[in-house]
Amino acid sequence: MENKLIRDLFLGFIRIHILFHAAKEPVYGTEFHEELKRHGYNVSFGTLYPIFHRLEKDGYIIAKKENINGKIRKYYSITEEGNAILKQAKEKANELVAELNEED
Amino acid sequence: MENKLIRDLFLGFIRIHILFHAAKEPVYGTEFHEELKRHGYNVSFGTLYPIFHRLEKDGYIIAKKENINGKIRKYYSITEEGNAILKQAKEKANELVAELNEED
DNA sequence: TTCTTAATATTGTAAAACGATATTGTAAAT
DNA sequence: ATTTACAATATCGTTTTACAATATTAAGAA
């Protein structure tokens, strides 16, 4: 990625974006990976999957295995707890950004 | 801190906030630490100082030692390169947050 | 000279990010 | 029926980062 500072910024957001998308519709790893790529964010599976696992372990998302064309996919959906934390995180994100946008 | 997800979000912003403040006036470690604390962000010196050092090494901020009441302080100011990256980072931050604020 | 204090610096450990590699499950090909 | 191909998830080993705790620095005060 372009720059470490911006990379860190993105990584701070990645969990929240997973929750955000999982709140709209079930998501799975490879699809999310592709979408990030489309938006210019390259994150490896070695980074991405452990994040999904951690979010699941923490109870923010829940997986449902599905057999799609003979391939197993794990579709993750947000939980109630995940929704609550997403709401908080959104507020915090807005707060942090608002500060940056104050008069220069 | 409250929650890892929100903690990560904050940590993604911390470098940018350092640059932001260093762009307005010279800042030093302990003062910045205190200000974060006042805003509810607890980050240890073992985290904070290496971040300052890294930003300096990367050429985004530059230190000027001053003797204040017999104590040495390192006042950091933003560099041109730092200003350029700060601008980029702000844009990226706004972009990332904007996406979260899209209709639910 | 020794004590105190504000500040910066470093150390050792635990956790995270990463690219690379391995594994899984099944449908299609042989 | 066995092998191959493929999409997808999972893990491994290394490097980097976060962290709390501890050490160091410098000089004015006692």
Query: What local confidence, expressed as pLDDT, does residue B2 receive?
Result: 73
- Supply the pLDDT for residue B46: 94
Please give the Cα distance from A103 to B9 (Å, whole number).
23
C-alpha distance from B61 to closest chain A C-alpha (Å): 13
Q: Name the fold adopted by A4-101.
A: Arc Repressor Mutant, subunit A (1.10.10)
Checking if the pLDDT of A104 tops 70, the result is no
Residue for token pair 């969990």? A15
**B-interface mutation test, from A1, A3, A6, most B Cβ less than 10 A away:** A6
Fold of the CATH domain B4-100: Arc Repressor Mutant, subunit A (1.10.10)
Sign of the C-alpha dihedral, residues A82, A101, A8, A31? positive
Chain mean position to CA B52: 8
Q: A9–B4: do the CB atoms touch at under 8 Å?
A: no
Q: Which residues of A touch B2 (CB under 8 A)?
A: 88
Each residue of B43-68: pLDDT tens digit?
999 999 999 999 999 999 999 998 88
Tens of pLDDT, residues A50-101:
999 999 999 999 999 988 877 789 999 999 999 999 999 999 999 999 999 9
Structural contact between residues A65 and A72, judged by C-beta atoms closer than 8 angstroms: yes
E strands, chain B, where? 61-68, 71-78
Question: What are the residue ranges spanned by the domains of chain B?
Answer: 4-100
Across A9-13, A61-65, B70-74, B90-94, least confident range: B70-74
Alpha carbon of A24: minimum distance to chain B alpha carbons (Å): 7
